[in-house]
A = this chain, B = another copy of it.
Amino acid sequence: MEAATGYLRIGELSRRTGVAPELLRAWERRYGLLQPARSEGGFRLYSDADERRVELMRQHLRRGLAAAEAARLAAEGGDGTAVEQRAGSSPELAAGAARLRSALDGFDEAQAQAALDDLFAAFTVETVLGGVILPYLVELGERWSTGEATVAQEHFASNLIRGRLLGLGRGWDAGDGPRALLACAPGELHDLGLIAFALTLHRRGWRITYLGPDTPVESLAETAERLAPALVVVSATSKRRLTPLREALALLAGKTKVVVAGAGAGDGVDGIEALASDPVTAALAV
């Protein structure tokens, strides 16, 4: 990290951020995004905060915001991640998350269901997924890997949440939108992230065909052949679940658009695009 006093000139900032100098000046002039100090001779001297603002600006642009709006948000220092924004701006969401967590940790089904009820009642599905459920699952995974959480806990929580999410997905293959075919890679059992992704897609108008965890490639290919979906998504938490599928997926990708998702997707496999790690943001990007 750069020292707080380390001032950058425009060329260096441009190199670091990948934004052309002309554009940096345009953003300053048009939106007041940056207010760099000046050297004696008039050169712009950017601080670390300026660099952060540029990164934020780029994030917002990548998500499709207009430059003017992206600049407005970036100038306010708005954190780019929807999760933290929402959790930070809403004590109710944080309270609901805490309630859910303590109920699940204590194997208290009734409390957990009630907490989920309140959350879904007060917030949109996307907000609850991205702001509570997915973060909880990540945390649970970490606690499991460090031995803080038991297998039983993980199963209890997963099954309860899976039931709720599948309930939300009722009728998700109806309608007239494009169809998406989703499945976990062979051997992969963690399907909650994929379900969250499917839910978000459905709420954007997609029809969903969900094959579930541990799906053989043949089944996937066969189903894809029959349904001719607009998109096929394969999810895996580890890269080693995907590498054996390279050839089959490449073959499939010749006919339909195929993407990989989940922590194992990395930057994509053999030219097949990878989705963002956060299912909700990923769905918005499709």
Contact = CB atoms under 8 A, between A and B. Distances in A.
Interface of A: 1, 3-4, 6-9, 12, 15-18, 39, 43, 45, 52, 55, 58-60, 62-66, 68-70, 72-73, 76, 78, 85-86, 88-93, 113-114, 116-118, 120-127, 131, 167-168, 170-171, 174-178, 203-205, 284
Contacts of A168: 121-122
Contacts of A175: 62
Most B-side CB within 10 Å, residue of A17, A68, A122, A205: A122
A250 to B, nearest CB: 28
A17 B123 contact: no
Contacts of A91: 123-124
A12 B60 CA distance: 12
A257 to B, nearest CB: 15
A118 B202 CA distance: 14
A57 B75 CA distance: 32
Contacts of A89: 1, 4, 86, 122
12 contacts: A6-B60, A15-B64, A16-B64, A39-B68, A43-B66, A62-B177, A85-B122, A86-B90, A93-B121, A113-B124, A114-B124, A121-B127
Contacts of A86: 4, 89-90, 92
B121 A123 contact: yes
A121 B139 CA distance: 20
Given A16-B284, A45-B69, A78 B126 contact: no
Count the copies.
2
Contacts of A68: 39
Nearest to A73: B6
B204 A18 contact: yes
Contacts of A3: 73, 76, 78, 85
B204 A16 contact: yes
- Which of A3, A17, A170, A284 has the largest count of B CB atoms less than 10 A from its CB? A3
A205 B124 contact: no
A92 B121 contact: yes
A65 B170 contact: no
Contact of A170 (B7, B52, B121): B121
Contacts of A124: 52, 91-92, 113-114, 116-117
A229 to B, nearest CB: 15
A11 B60 CA distance: 15
Given A3-B76, A52-B124, A121-B93, A8 B65 contact: yes
A113 to B, nearest CB: 5
A118 B171 contact: yes
Contacts of A1: 89
